[in-house]
C-alpha cells in the first residue's frame, strides 16, 4: 500500500504545498463549472449525503429553515447539489480566489475561512456542516483532529 505522501503525489500532477496561495493559483486556472459538474457525478457521495440528512431528521424539516455550510468547499459540488434540492447553503474556503469566483460566477453566498479557526462564525449558527476533500488534503496528520475540534 502506498504511504500518504506517495499516494498524494501519485494523484496530483505535481506536488505542492497546501497554503492558500497555491490554491488561489489553481482556482484562477480551473474551470469551476466543469469541476463542479464532475464532482456532482459522484452519485455514491451525493446519495450518502442525502441519506445522512434523512437519518438525522434534517430532511424532514422545511428546507428553507435548514442552514448549511460547506467548509473547504472548493468548487462547491455538494452545496450546489443541496441548493438544487431547495436548501440554503453558504460556502466557505480559505482561497479568496475561489470564494470570489463562486460569488461572481454562480451567485453563491460565500466567504473566506480557515476550517481550523472558525471564530468569526457564531456557535450553532448552522444545522449542517459539509466537509469533503478538506479533511484529507493536508500533509499534517493531526489536521482532521484540529478541524473536528473546531467544529
Residues 31-61 have pLDDT tens digits of 888 877 777 677 887 888 889 999 999 999 9
Torsion angle defined by CA atoms of residues 33, 103, 79 and 62, in that order, rounded to the nearest 10 degrees: -130
pLDDT in tens, 130-139: 887 666 555 6
- Rounded Cα distance between 99 and 141, Å, is 26
In the sheet where 109-112 sits, what is the strand order?
Answer: 109-112, 88-93, 67-71, 128-131
User: Span 65-84, mean pLDDT?
Assistant: 90
Higher-confidence residue of 64 and 19: namely: 64
Amino acid at each position: 500500500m502506498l504511504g500518504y505522501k506517495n499516494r498524494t503525489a501519485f494523484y496530483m500532477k505535481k506536488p505542492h504545498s497546501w497554503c492558500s496561495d497555491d490554491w488561489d493559483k489553481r482556482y484562477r486556472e480551473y474551470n469551476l463549472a466543469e469541476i463542479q459538474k464532475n464532482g456532482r457525478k459522484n452519485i455514491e457521495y451525493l446519495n450518502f449525503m442525502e441519506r445522512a440528512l434523512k437519518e438525522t431528521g434534517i430532511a424532514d424539516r422545511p428546507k428553507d429553515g435548514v442552514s448549511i455550510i460547506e467548509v473547504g468547499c472548493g468548487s462547491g459540488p455538494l452545496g450546489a447539489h443541496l441548493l438544487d434540492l431547495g436548501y440554503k447553503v453558504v460556502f466557505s474556503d480559505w482561497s479568496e480566489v475561489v470564494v470570489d469566483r463562486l460569488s461572481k460566477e454562480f451567485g453563491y453566498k460565500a466567504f473566506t475561512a480557515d476550517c481550523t479557526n472558525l471564530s468569526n462564525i457564531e456557535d450553532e449558527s448552522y444545522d449542517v456542516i459539509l466537509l469533503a476533500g478538506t479533511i484529507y488534503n493536508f500533509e499534517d496528520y493531526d489536521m482532521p483532529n484540529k478541524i473536528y475540534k473546531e467544529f
